[in-house]
Amino acid sequence: MGLLTVGSPWCLGQWQTQTFALKQGWNAIYTHVDAKHTTIEQLVQGDGIEEVWMWRPKLSTMQYIQSPDQPLDTVSRWTSWISSNADGSSLQRLIGNAAYLVKAGQAVNWGIKGKPVPPRYQWTSTGLNLIGFSTKSASPPVFSNFLNPVNGFGAGAQIFSYNGGDLGTTNPAQLFTLNTSTVNRGQAYWIRATGYNRYYGPFELGLQDWSGVHFGDSLSSYKVVLKNTTKSDLT
């Protein structure tokens, strides 16, 4: 476990653009930036994005699901933005640490400018979770290794991913080669949880204030706790 304090009195807030390589049809993405400063309509800017559905899980054993949910307005776990009814859509802005289904009319690289958010996710107690992970973009780990610290979870996890195109019995498709399938940053996956955990990677982050560091003459230090959740030394 490490402890880091930051005492610099002056620092500029950072903006970051997260880019998603969308296929034509349905894609599952996970945002590592918060883009509440603007609307989805402004973010799409003629990129051919037709629909955006945000997954809002309910953390209750009475609400668990056993198969990947279809994006439907009648399902309370979804809220949506539809390009043909942009002003009347229930979803207007994108937040960080959230999973979305995005329907694209064409293949496109969609850049979302926002403020980086620290990795944080609370799994539902059972059933399927739609989730992405803060892995490195270059040479990401494979699922069997990445999820293994959770009581061997990586070897027996049920994971589904979207491949573009229409939704159907094979989309999303289950991943059977977890020892070769990579955990891609910015991509969301359906993952079945068999019990409560808050695993989000080999490191667990604890922050003094999850909304960020508010620099100014009223703050002299800021505490960050970094915990190794594995049984091995990590660098």
- Within-domain flag for 115: yes
Chain CA centroid to CA 180, Å = 21
More confident residue, 191 or 148: 191
pLDDT of 87 reads 94
Residue with the larger pLDDT of the pair 201 and 208 = 201
Stretch 67-81: mean pLDDT, rounded?
75
Alpha helices in the chain (DSSP H): 40-44, 143-146, 153-156
What is the per-residue pLDDT across 25-38, written as a single tens digit (0 to 9) for each?
999 999 999 999 99
* pLDDT at 11 exceeding the cut of 60: no
pLDDT of residue 68: 72
233 in a domain, yes or no? no
**Does the structure show a pLDDT above 90 at 226?**
no
Average pLDDT value for the chain: 80
Q: What is the dihedral of CA 148, 179, 32, 207, to 10 degrees?
A: 20
% of the chain residues with pLDDT over 70: 65
Segment holding 153, helix H or strand E:
helix 153-156
- Residue 44 φ/ψ, nearest 5 degrees: -75, -40
92-108: b (≥16 Cβ within 10 Å) or e: ebbebbbbbbbbbeeeb
Confidence label for 64 from pLDDT (cuts 50, 70 and 90)? very low
Percent of the chain clearing pLDDT 90 (strictly above): 50
Lowest-confidence segment of 57-66, 67-76, 162-171 by average pLDDT: 57-66
CA 167/CA 158 separation, integer angstroms:
19
Task: Give pLDDT, residue 180.
Answer: 94
Residue written as tokens 């926002």? 114
Q: Is the pLDDT of residue 6 over 60?
A: no
Q: Are 20 and 186 in contact, with CB atoms under 8 Å apart?
A: yes
Position 127 scores a pLDDT of 73
Would you call the peptide bond into 9 cis, given omega within 30 degrees of 0 as the criterion?
no
The mean-pLDDT minimum among 1-10, 73-82, 185-194 falls in 1-10
pLDDT digits (tens, 9 = 90+) for 113-172: 999 988 776 676 567 889 999 898 999 999 988 887 776 676 677 899 999 999 999 999
> Do 5 and 222 contact (CB within 8 A), yes or no?
yes
Task: Name the amino acid, one letter, at 170.
Answer: T
How far apart, in whole angstroms, are the C-alpha atoms of residue 193 and residue 44? 33
Report if residue 235 sits inside a domain.
Answer: no
What are the residues whose beta carbons fall under 8 Å from the beta carbon of 176, sequence distance 6 or more? none
Residue 38 lies in a domain: yes
Total domains, the chain: 1
Structural domain range at position 216: 2-228
Instruction: Pick the most confident of 64-68, 166-170, 225-229.
Output: 166-170
